Amino acid sequence: MDNDEQEQAIADTAEEVQSVAASDEPVAPKIPATRIIASKRFSGKYNRDLLTALLTEDSYTISEAEKILDDFMGVE
């Protein structure tokens, strides 16, 4: 690869990185399911056994957990 090809490859890579960085949305943190189940936010609204049965993965974002519960309860 000559110098011009290397410079073009670097420029192309830089453009890809910039486009990915510009389109990245903030990522919500994943919380262990055990903490979600024990939280006042969820255990005050749902039975803990139900939460344990529905939240079977190791961790979820709050919105993922809410969606699972809303889908189960038929909330739109």
d(C-alpha 57, C-alpha 30), whole Å:
11
d(C-alpha 60, C-alpha 33), whole Å:
6
Q: 61 in helix, strand or coil?
A: coil
pLDDT given at position 1: 57
Q: What are the φ/ψ torsions at residue 21 (nearest 5 degrees)?
A: -65, -35
- What pLDDT, in 10s, does the model give residues 4-59? 665 655 555 656 655 555 556 678 899 999 999 999 999 899 999 999 999 999 99
User: pTM for this one?
Assistant: 0.63
- The residue that leads in pLDDT, 75 or 71, is 71
pLDDT given at position 30: 93
pLDDT given at position 75: 84
